A and B are shown apart, each in its own frame.
Chain A
Amino acid sequence: MIEAQQLTRRFGDFTAVAGISFSVPEGEILGMLGPNGAGKTTTIRMLTGFLPPSSGRVTLGGRDLFGDSVAVRRQIGYLPENVALYPELRVEEYLGWRGRLEGLDRATMRRRLPLVLDRCLLGDVRRQVIGTLSKGYRQRVGLAAAILHDPKVLVLDEPTVGLDPKQIIAIRELIRELGREHTLLLSTHILPEVELLCQKVMIVDRGRIVAEGSPAELRERWQGAFGVAVELAAPVTGVAEALAELPGVESAAAADGEGRRFRLSCARGADPRGDVFRLAAARGWPLVELAATRASLEDVFVRLTTRDEDAPAPAGEVAR
């Protein structure tokens, strides 16, 4: 549905986006992750027709975005990063305006307006002046406006910023629902959001795609060694050394200062948890926890987007 080919955007000498290509099949949610300044918003602006690319092209449903601009833009619903609304209008008036801008007729508006107000939890503020709304409400007004004309493609730039936890859950549920009917591109900082919502993830850094795949694929590919966390009820000496002797264990290190917690780094494919248990039982260690540590998407993200010089050891990774 969305097809981006070699998108590049330069601002003077600065290259914000350097040859990004991807495609989102119909009915899928693609998550775009990246640190600040990675080029996410620039990429999104090129996908919505706000910024023309310096080179490369975007097609939506096979039609070129810049060749057939006005017609193609009708298929896009866009929630910009900073949701800018007209503060003097009431919520309903604003949505009515957006409807007219999209060319919706009265009958369609009468049908769609209550629907989006309801879906975006705006029923109780429909008559309120936008300037008096909180950030969370404005965010939802922006989202309501983006889905008002029932577009084929939805582009959401940080949709849950500024919402309280309850609203975040509601909006995520809404996004998941929307993902069933629309093709969706979601840009976010929030990693659990991506794991929760997206079939595919693309991690962007310095204007390039540094990794892409399903959240599970990414975790698998980038997780590095399988790790095991061991916790004892009371400190015991010589545990690290004994654990390191086990087959499949590459290294074992204390994870705290008192000698109760240890982390094992294992060879690929090895799972020494059974051996750890038998060893503990044989030596009478008071074993209280034995767990596999899998890299979260967060680790993958940190590892991929951290410059070498300031790399902290990512959480969950075991010293090798």
Chain B
Amino acid sequence: MNGVLAVLQRELKAYFYAPLAYVVLTFFLLVQGYYFSVIVAYLSDPRYPAGKPLELFFGQTIFTWLVLIFAGTFLTMRLISEELRSGTIETLMTAPVSETQVVLGKYLAALAFYVFLWVPTLAFVVIVRYFTPVDWGPIAASYLGIFGIGALFLAVGLFASATSKNQIVAAIASFFFVLVLFSIGLLESLANGETAKAVFGYLNLWQHMDDFAKGIVDTRRLVYYASAAAFFLFLTTRALQAKKWR
């Protein structure tokens, strides 16, 4: 546990001591603020059907996804590849900590930063609440969904980071894996058989997020994120161990 905490703490420092965190944070908030204002403008236009701004903010649009996919990639690409490139991995792997502890520490740091990234969006909730009553259930569900899917994407990104010394290669790999995970569920609408439809439906992240935004929480989906994230973290540990043998 101490090892995990030590790694976690160092990674958080690394986020905040480097410009990348601030760049990501700024762009994230700019983009989110822009989306929110677009949604509000759209809903205030009498020509368009009425709707709930926060439901649209979290679901039904591509906006959420663009942010999720990129944030996952940018937050994780450096985590392991930088250690491989600079050689600090040697210090880390000869210290009395296991690969699992290192991976967990790094993952939790990324997850913490990811949560930190989303906290300011609570301002949108406050703004909406100022003008109109809000239903808290769907909002809580939306953040749960954002957390779950983000947790999965970060695990994928961390794995990609362990595959290359080069951050850019890691980022591209992560982007690719995440895109596959995201789009595999979209096959639901193209699938013919009952089983195929059910399987793709189970993996349909777009649909999941739509439901979360409406306040529907299906535990099977949370189990999917948790188990897939655990699987990718396991792969990351294995990738680190495999480095020793090459």
Contact = CB atoms under 8 A, between A and B. Distances in A.
B234 to A, nearest CB: 18
Interface stretch (A76-84, A244-252, A273-281): A76-84
Interface residues of B, number: 27
A88 B17 contact: yes
B91 interface: yes
Contact of B94 (A76, A85, A86): A76
Contacts of A78: 91, 94
Contacts of B17: 88-89
Contact of A97 (B10, B96, B244): B10
B13 A100 contact: no
Contact of B96 (A45, A52, A71, A85): A71
A100 B9 contact: yes
B96 A103 contact: yes
Nearest to B83: A84
Contacts of B244: 50-52
A80 B17 CA distance: 25
A121 to B, nearest CB: 21
Given A51-B244, A52-B244, A101-B6, A84 B97 contact: no
A207 B81 CA distance: 30
Contact of A86 (B10, B90, B93, B95): B10
Contact of A102 (B7, B14, B95, B245): B95
Interface string A1-34: 0000000000100000000000000000000000
Given A52-B244, A100-B2, A84 B90 contact: yes
A49 interface: yes
A70 B97 CA distance: 6
Interface string A60-88: 00000000011101101010101011101
B55 to A, nearest CB: 41
A48 B96 contact: no
B91 A80 contact: yes
A233 B64 CA distance: 92
B133 to A, nearest CB: 46
Interface string A34-55: 0000000000010011111000
A101 B3 CA distance: 5
Contacts, number: 69
A73 B90 CA distance: 12
Given A50-B90, A50-B244, A80-B87, A101 B95 contact: yes
B128 interface: no
A98 B95 contact: yes
Contacts of A212: none
A73 B244 CA distance: 16
A70 B98 contact: yes
Given A82-B87, A84-B86, A101 B97 contact: yes
B227 interface: no
B5 interface: yes
B18 to A, nearest CB: 6
Interface in A97-113: 97-98, 100-103
Contacts of A100: 2, 5-6, 9
Nearest to A48: B94
Contacts of A84: 86-91
A93 interface: yes
Count chain A CB atoms within 10 A of each CB in B17, B90, B95 and give the residue with the most: B95
Given A80-B90, A102-B96, 5 more contacts: A80-B87, A86-B88, A88-B18, A100-B9, A101-B3
24 contacts: A11-B246, A45-B90, A50-B94, A52-B244, A52-B245, A69-B98, A70-B97, A70-B98, A78-B91, A80-B91, A82-B87, A84-B90, A85-B88, A86-B14, A88-B13, A89-B10, A93-B13, A98-B95, A100-B5, A101-B92, A101-B95, A102-B95, A103-B2, A103-B96
